[in-house]
Chains A and B, each alone.
Chain A
């Protein structure tokens, strides 16, 4: 069985400070992991994906995530937050080679000026 837990429903950071959005997963098989972002009234956009290649994955807009098998984590980070990063972020797990996406409950990121 697969599951994903996003540890924070809301995160607030000041502009220019680091961002950390936490995600833990459970998967019986080799997982594929994704982070998606959803801006207000917009569709989901893929930020980055892990598919068993490099454990440190770089995505768009300066985001990156590190796959840590021992900790079953896939936390999303960014060195310096920008106002335009304010959005909802979803961590997703999928067993490699299958179609089924299991979504986390989302983390709403607020960026303070």
Chain B
């Protein structure tokens, strides 16, 4: 596909369970980003990948959150022992790295509901 894809589109889980959210960036994009969009919090940056490494993890809200990227392509965001406050839409974006500007292309998001 031409755009960023994310799966699943919706995920309902019980408190305390682990979840994995997947992102497929645009082919050839070296940079990948995860954001969280929740009511009252707006859009929050979580983590950034350049290739397979994550130079900036500063937005991860707790050590229950982790992410990895393999082959410079697909990324997985894992939330362990989910809590109700983790309920949100998780957005992934990808971009080329340039020296002048950095347009990010967003996927449709995964809506996570923790019961």
Contacts and interface: CB of A to CB of B under 8 A. Distances in A.
Contacts of B99: 97
B100 A103 contact: no
Interface in B40-65: 42-43, 45, 48, 50, 56
Nearest to B40: A105
B109 A43 contact: yes
Interface residues on A, range: 20 to 34
Give the interface SS of chain A, mostly helix, strand, loop or mixed: loop
Interface residues on B, range: 20 to 34
A33 B87 CA distance: 29
B102 interface: yes
A99 B95 contact: yes
B72 interface: no
B104 interface: yes
Interface in B2-20: 3-4
Contacts of B106: 36, 43-45
Given A42-B108, A100-B45, A105-B42, A49 B33 contact: no
Interface in B60-115: 91, 93, 95, 97-109
A101 B100 contact: no
A69 B31 CA distance: 29
A34 interface: yes
Contact of A99 (B3, B43, B97): B97
Interface string A70-113: 00000000000000000000100010111111011110000000
A94 B108 contact: no
A103 B43 contact: yes
Given A43-B109, A96-B100, A99-B48, 4 more contacts: A46-B103, A52-B100, A94-B101, A101-B45
Interface of B: 3-4, 31, 33, 42-43, 45, 48, 50, 56, 91, 93, 95, 97-109
